[in-house]
A and B are shown apart, each in its own frame.
Chain A
Amino acid sequence: MTEKLIKNDKRIDGRKLDELRPIEAMVGVLKKADGSAFFRLGDTMAIAGVYGPKKVHPRHAEEAEKAILRTKYNMAPFSTETRSRPGHNRRSTEISFVTRQAIEPVLFLEEFPKTAIDVHIEVLQANASSRCVGINAASLALADAGVPMRDLIASCSAGIVEGKKVLDISGKEDTEGELDLPIAYYPRKKAITLLQMDGLAKRSDVKQLIELAIKGCEKIYEKQKQALRKRYSLEEVMHEKEVKV
């Protein structure tokens, strides 16, 4: 029998069942990009850079009435225990695709016809939920780029491990757990913009997991807003000026 992953409702990394891993969120972390952000959830971390709105290459890809949003999710070869082969694969193509659909609902793409907004997500370290961390970074980077948004998008996953519903699975919970359900959430509209699930569960359990993941997203949303306030609050700007003088 292998080591139990949950004892007395405590998880192997010491977390409670409904507890997220430590969060770190920062915006404006890159010089060249129009907007950028770093997001970390425990051992999973990603950096996102936004370029645009900008001219579309190739030209035939442009749309007359709105900007096109292009997202690229990529895992660094050193981000996993065994090296991941560099370049795109079927998994990264799918994640790039669902990431775009998760973020698009909050963007005013119609304000920038015939342009492209490129979002590049680099996962530097992956220990479960890397698509969620990528989405959190991407949404912050878009805000940092000054792209008009209805809201931020927050993302995290819930899962079932040894029969218990847990928030934000990681490590062995990911490889040995029974189910993983990532979501992305549009808080002001209380709407779900990404929903995937791998695993077997009754309908009532699926609904409870979605509700649990929403609670996690609400916490992440607060951290995202804090990161933006930290960089853009008025006091901060004034403070910087004082220092310069």
Chain B
Amino acid sequence: MIGIDTDLVREIMRNKKRLDNRAADKYRKVTIETNFVTSAEGSARVRLGDTEVVAGVKMDMGEPYPDSPDEGVLSVSSEFLPLASPDFESGPPGEDSIELARVVDRAIRESKAIDFKKLCITPGEKVWMVFVDIDIIDNDGNLIDAAGLAAVAALRSAKIPDIEDEKPVFSRKGKKALPMKGIPISTTFAKIRDYIVVDPGLAESEALEARLTVGTVDSEGIKICSLQKGGTSSFTIEEIGSILETAEDKGSELRKLVK
């Protein structure tokens, strides 16, 4: 498959136009389907335009970290599957995949959306470990936002396994939901020839010069919970100011889609 020429994308965007004629602040169509995988404690399949990801939550009992003996453990990983793009190869996770997982992890963790204290079983000994694995199925750009939506939707659909004889039961669904409050949302902005747009598509993701992902959460009003700049160019403080404002609005729109 022949990709779209990066120079051409930049030339178009220099005139404040997008390839698919979207407005600068318009997301592609988002669909979220939860409990898509029944073997998982929680799951979600998210489509963002033609980008598609599946997130699954698996839980297990384990030891807490020594510095937080009464808190559960969260771990987020992602796989850029070779079936998702001619550019993805199998093998250990690359820096893009590691960054994506860490940015998604940061927004969830820092938003305090999960009450980790309620995931403690025996302080200092046994806690719930929550593993969020994100499979990138189809890459049409802006994987971070799709992955963030999928992770949060999967967590909100997750049920803690019942415990029998001090062991988790995986053969049937538990009854208790994960203790969550607030919905953290990642919104990603791309800067191309000084034109700043939300939800970059694949051609835009490849042509972007600078990128900013903003995590927002609805906790006592809207707050910002994480930031991650990417790309090999820069932002001015004014640009960051207007991005943060748009991120709050877009976050509120996307949040309504996560039940």
Known: A98-B229, A200-B111. A195 touches B235 (CB 8 A): yes
Within 8 A of B (CB), among A191-221: 191-203, 206-207, 210-211, 214
Return chain B residues, CB-CB under 8 Å to A105. 232-234
**B234 near A210 (CB under 8 angstroms)?**
no
**A200 near B231 (CB under 8 angstroms)?**
no
> Shortest beta-carbon distance, A84 to chain B, in Å?
14
> Shortest beta-carbon distance, B114 to chain A, in Å?
13
> Shortest beta-carbon distance, B111 to chain A, in Å?
7
Of B67, B231, B240, chain A has the most CB atoms within 10 Å of the CB of B240
Return chain A residues, CB-CB under 8 Å to B229. 98, 101, 192-196
A132 to B110, CA, bound (A): 21
**B234 near A192 (CB under 8 angstroms)?**
yes
**B110 near A203 (CB under 8 angstroms)?**
no
Within 8 A of A (CB), among B232-255: 232-237, 240-241, 244-245, 248
Return chain A residues, CB-CB under 8 Å to B18. none
A175 to B235, CA, bound (A): 29
Return chain A residues, CB-CB under 8 Å to B244. 203, 206-207
- Across the interface, A211 reaches (CB within 8 A) one of B111, B230, B237, B245, namely B237
Contact with B along A86-97 (1 / 0, CB 8 A): 000011011011
Within 8 A of B (CB), among A71-102: 90-91, 93-94, 96-98, 100-101
Of B93, B109, B227, chain A has the most CB atoms within 10 Å of the CB of B227
Of A100, A105, A190, A192, chain B has the most CB atoms within 10 Å of the CB of A192
Return chain B residues, CB-CB under 8 Å to A181. 227
Return chain B residues, CB-CB under 8 Å to A100. 232
Return chain B residues, CB-CB under 8 Å to A199. 110, 225
Q: Is residue B95 within 8 Å, beta carbon to beta carbon, of the partner chain?
A: yes
> Shortest beta-carbon distance, A169 to chain B, in Å?
15
Return chain A residues, CB-CB under 8 Å to B48. none
> Shortest beta-carbon distance, A128 to chain B, in Å?
15
Contact with B along A173-190 (1 / 0, CB 8 A): 001000001000010011
**A191 near B236 (CB under 8 angstroms)?**
yes
Q: Is residue B84 within 8 Å, beta carbon to beta carbon, of the partner chain?
A: no
- Across the interface, A203 reaches (CB within 8 A) one of B95, B106, B111, B248, namely B248
Bin the interface of chain A by size. 20 to 34
Q: Which residue of A lies closest to B225 (CB)?
A: A200
**A98 near B110 (CB under 8 angstroms)?**
no
Contact with A along B89-123 (1 / 0, CB 8 A): 00001010011011000100111100000000000
Q: Is the interface of A mostly helix, strand, loop or mixed?
A: helix
> Shortest beta-carbon distance, B241 to chain A, in Å?
6
Q: Which residue of A lies closest to B109 (CB)?
A: A198
**A98 near B230 (CB under 8 angstroms)?**
yes
Which one of B39-47, B49-57, B147-155, B216-224 is at the A interface?
A: B216-224
**B219 near A200 (CB under 8 angstroms)?**
yes
Q: Is residue B35 within 8 Å, beta carbon to beta carbon, of the partner chain?
A: no
**A191 near B234 (CB under 8 angstroms)?**
yes
Q: Is residue B187 within 8 Å, beta carbon to beta carbon, of the partner chain?
A: no
**A200 near B99 (CB under 8 angstroms)?**
no
> Shortest beta-carbon distance, B7 to chain A, in Å?
12
**B232 near A201 (CB under 8 angstroms)?**
no
* 24 residue pairs from A and B, CB less than 8 Å apart: A90-B101, A90-B102, A98-B99, A105-B232, A105-B234, A186-B234, A191-B236, A193-B229, A193-B233, A195-B227, A195-B235, A196-B227, A196-B228, A197-B227, A197-B228, A198-B106, A198-B226, A199-B110, A200-B110, A201-B224, A202-B223, A207-B237, A207-B241, A207-B244
Residues of A within 8 A of B (CB): 90-91, 93-94, 96-98, 100-101, 104-105, 175, 181, 186, 189-203, 206-207, 210-211, 214
Taking A97-B95, A97-B98, A210-B240 as given, write out 8 further A-B residue pairs in contact, using a Cβ cutoff of 8 Å, ordered by the A residue number: A90-B102, A191-B234, A192-B235, A193-B233, A196-B229, A197-B226, A207-B241, A210-B237
Residues of B within 8 A of A (CB): 67, 93, 95, 98-99, 101-102, 106, 109-112, 212, 217, 219, 221-237, 240-241, 244-245, 248
